[in-house]
Amino acid sequence: MGDDVFYFDNDAVTTKVLDNNKNELGTLQEYLFEGKTVTSGSVTNIKHSGVYKIKGLSGLPSEIPSNQYSILEVKAIGNQDNPDVIFYKVTSPSGVSKEMTVSGSNQSGWTLGGVQLQNAINNLDSQVGELRDLETGNKSSLVNAVNELQSKIDTVNDNTDSVNSALNEYKKHNHDDRYIRKTGTGDSFKGTLVFENGANLAFRSSTGTAPSVISRNGNNLVFGNGEMGLNIQSKGDVYLNGQKVVTTGTNGLNADKVGGVDANLYARKDQNNDWSGVQTYSNAAPLRFVVGNVQGSAIPIQFMSAKSNKGNVGYISKSDGDGMSISPDGNNELLGLYSDRVYTTGNLEFAGGTEKDIRFGNGHMGFYFKEDANGRLGAWDWYKNRLIWRYDTDTNYVEMGEAPKWQGRRLFLQDGLPTNVEIPYGSIWIGF
């Protein structure tokens, strides 16, 4: 004021948090960094936003130990002494997490979260199993699989009723010369001979057994058996589904070769394959890997050491959620790609070049690091081409692009009186 110069030092320890009546609740250090310690009373008595270090409070879920410190996160909107809505999240030292919302006298109750929710989901997955392991034809859902089984049961019941009805009619019929005799010779059958589902045509072998010659297995018609050889003879060519079965040379059709190449050189869907040649995909169709719901249950892409041809280098697989995981060992996710985020459990490093940017939204704002003689880390508004804040390693202090704002008031450090800018009531201007 006048020619006098005033300096104000401030930090998180000396900054006090007050309620509406100016009563001191604690320091900014407690509410933002260390956690405000509370060891008595009910958890719902806490109504101010912040981080709390709690132990022995009533109203907590039974999974939260009362003799150990836990983390309580509180977010409240409205009047700070009587908020409209309060969100509570408590996390125990073992990773159990519960959440609750309170609005006036209404409480949502504690809901599951954190490690306990993940364990419950994993347990449910292990109990239900995989849809693809169903023996039914329809594997799209459990309901469709059960409906398929019920349909087959209904069909079997209908067939059983039909057979029983025919058997009763057969028992009432007089046996006469319209039936083929077991010991007859030269009898001609003029009608259509129909075998019921599961029946077969068999011939007595030289050893006295009666192996099946023609039978039905599901929707397949089976010729032959494992006891006798099969010799198909025909006058002229043999056709299968209207296509001629081609045989050449004295050995006929060679089932061990395809296009003159040994069949063992082709990849099989039901076995592990070792690809020694370069595979090129020229069409636009995607290359798909269908994996399990549990991370580690199916690893579609695995990288191994080129020197020893063993030892895992890394994996690319499906993550726990609906995303893709890059992992060094198949279990610990190092990098996850999801529809709404990129997740990593390690360090994210940007190397090469002189400046690296991390931009948000449409690239309007974000962070940058310029690797020059000083080494600068800052936030920038590319849309308006202006500095938000910057830290230089040579100066070891933070530079702000505009006058900062604390608790609704701004601090201006400039020669002239601030003009054409937002100046809330209670702001401070220090001139030079």
pLDDT in tens, 337-383: 887 788 787 777 777 668 888 888 787 898 888 887 778 888 889 98
In a domain, 330, yes or no: yes
Range of the domain at 338: 300-348
pLDDT band at 296 (very low <50, low <70, confident <90, very high): very low
pLDDT at 2: 56
Q: Residue 9 falls within a domain, yes or no?
A: no
pLDDT in tens, 47-87: 888 899 899 899 898 888 989 999 999 999 988 778 999 99
Tokens of residue 87, six digits: 């969100």
Secondary structure, 3-state, 77-100:
EECCCCEEEEEEEEECCCCEEEEE
Q: Is residue 421 part of a domain?
A: no
The pair phi, psi for residue 120, each rounded to 5°, is: -65, -40
Beta strands in 339-423 (DSSP E): 342-344, 355-360, 365-370, 376-381, 386-392, 397-400, 405-406, 409-413
Residue 359 lies in a domain: no
Which domain-ending residue is among 127, 161, 177? Answer: 127
Look at residue 280 and tell me if it is in a domain.
no
Average pLDDT, the chain: 79
Question: Which whole number is the average pLDDT over 102-122?
Answer: 74
End-to-end CA distance of the chain: 11
Number of domains the chain contains: 2
Q: Note whether residue 377 is domain-resident.
A: no
Identity of the residue numbered 9: D
Q: State yes or no: pLDDT of 298 exceeds 60.
A: no
pLDDT of 166 reads 77
- Residue 64 C-alpha from the chain's centroid: 28
Percent of the chain with pLDDT over 70: 79
Tens digits of residue pLDDT in 133-176? 677 777 777 778 778 778 888 887 878 888 888 787 777 665 55
Per the document, the length of the chain is: 432
Residue 35 lies in a domain: yes
Q: Does residue 357 lie within any of the structural domains?
A: no
* pLDDT tens digit sequence for 385-418: 988 888 888 888 888 888 888 898 988 888 888 8
Quick: pLDDT tens for 214-261.
988 888 888 888 888 888 888 888 888 888 877 766 566 666 777 777
Distance CA 75, CA 85 (A): 8
Residue after which a domain boundary falls, among 70, 100, 127: 127
Q: Among residues 60, 93, 127, which one ends one of the domains?
A: 127
